Amino acid sequence: MENIIEIINNTQTNISNKVKDISTKVLNNERISVDECITLYQDAELSLVGMLANYIREKKNGNYTYFNKNLHLEPTNICIHNCKFCSYSKKINTDGWEYTVPEMVEQVKQAPAEITEVHIVGGVHPYRDIHYYGELIREIKKARPDIHIKAFTAVEIDHMIKKAGITLNEGARLLKNYGLDSIPGGGAEIFDETLRLEICSSKSTSARWLEIHEALHNEGIPSNATILYGHVETYAHRADHMNRLRELQDRTGGFNAFIPLKFKHKNNTMSDIKEVSVIEDLKNYAIARIFLDNFNHIKSYWPMTGKQLAQLALSFGVDDFDGTINDSTKIYSLAGSEEQNPSMTTEEMKQLIRDAKRVPVERDSVYNIISKD
């Protein structure tokens, strides 16, 4: 380790003593504080945080880069909320769309046999409750008993529980009984209460988002966590967001992966905000990897970032590429994501990973290895 610290001292010409001390801490496997996280965002060079993140990435996941074979189902874009960054939702009785349960089950039946996961995220429909979505889970399981169902953000779950008039613990148990296997990380946005009111005022509060994930973890249902970054937040807001996740993970260990989601500005009411640079994206991945020492995986969501940035991110702390997806999501293409029709063959995914000098590993939804090069 002394060697790496020496290299940092000799190659990072502009490094401050503070950043040097934080780097030493990271390389000695010590947890960094919120203030130290902010210092890295403000003062550290991309190459330095990249190197530190890569050290941790390789310690946790070696040279592996995980992906899975999944299908995205979006039940509806009808939504009661008014998130300013959303390019996707419609109000009921306008020109929104909604699939019926049989239509969604048919989509799953039609999916290639090798798909191991269905990811279900959509708008918060005013009339649908936990029993409606529970039926969907049950029918999908009937059609494809082996498929892992990763479904509904905490914000969707919050509404479906309220709609059914039951408590959170009852809801978590019910979802488990219906066959829910895990939940995705969406709806977290940014936890700072003032900003949350500014950009998505009607959405479940930050405390509620965390409470729902905790209840599900306690029921044995793991989840992911996201952050929406690159809009009106500061570095301190990002560090605070990750700190609340790190604290919850210390208590439950129920998070699988952290997924930074870059704000895309097309077709929404925050379009006047310029999107952040690729340097900022890479720095954000790297600092997330450094700060979230109790998360095993950092995911780059390629349909949003584009294949090239996702590939580059594999050298900045990222070890997970998400899934092959099959052109089945509209959430990001409407917001101007890099992939307008996201789909990738397994071979293409593996080659992108190999080209970044990593080993492609097909995983299931809880990171058991299915196959590797």
Instruction: Identify the CA nearest to 290 among candidates 236, 246, 254, 233.
Output: 246
Phi–psi pair at 331, nearest 5 degrees = -55, -45
Interface of this chain with ligand V47, residues 306 to 345, rule: CB under 6 A: 331, 335
The partner in contact with residue 222, picked from ligand V47, ligand SF4, none with C-beta cut-offs of 5 to 8 angstroms by kind, is: none
The partner in contact with residue 178, picked from ligand V47, ligand SF4, none with C-beta cut-offs of 5 to 8 angstroms by kind, is: none
Q: Shortest distance, CB of residue 365 to ligand V47, whole angstroms?
A: 9
3-state secondary structure of 292: coil
Number of residues that bind ligand V47 (CB under 6 A): 21
If binding is defined by CB under 6 A, does position 88 make contact with ligand SF4?
yes
Dihedral angle over CA of 7, 12, 17, 23, nearest 10: -60
Q: Shortest distance, CB of residue 194 to ligand V47, whole angstroms?
A: 18
Taking the chain, what is the end-to-end CA distance rounded to the nearest angstrom? 30
Q: Shortest distance, CB of residue 345 to ligand V47, whole angstroms?
A: 19
Assess contact for 312 and 283: CB atoms under 8 A: no
Q: Shortest distance, CB of residue 203 to ligand V47, whole angstroms?
A: 9
Assess contact for 39 and 20: CB atoms under 8 A: no
The partner in contact with residue 333, picked from ligand V47, ligand SF4, none with C-beta cut-offs of 5 to 8 angstroms by kind, is: none
The residue from 23, 65, 89, 333 that contacts ligand SF4 (CB under 6 A) is 89
Dihedral angle over CA of 106, 107, 108, 112, nearest 10: 120
Interface of this chain with ligand SF4, residues 264 to 283, rule: CB under 6 A: none
Q: Report residue 299 CA to chain centroid gap.
A: 7
The partner in contact with residue 79, picked from ligand V47, ligand SF4, none with C-beta cut-offs of 5 to 8 angstroms by kind, is: ligand SF4
Instruction: Identify the CA nearest to 119 among candidates 75, 175, 168, 163.
Output: 75
If binding is defined by CB under 6 A, does position 157 make contact with ligand V47?
no
Interface of this chain with ligand SF4, residues 144 to 203, rule: CB under 6 A: 155, 200, 203
If binding is defined by CB under 6 A, does position 300 make contact with ligand V47?
no
Distances (CA, A) of 278 to 35, 321, 322: 24, 17, 19
Query: Contact residues for ligand SF4 (CB under 6 A)?
Result: 79, 81, 83, 86, 88-89, 123-124, 155, 200, 203
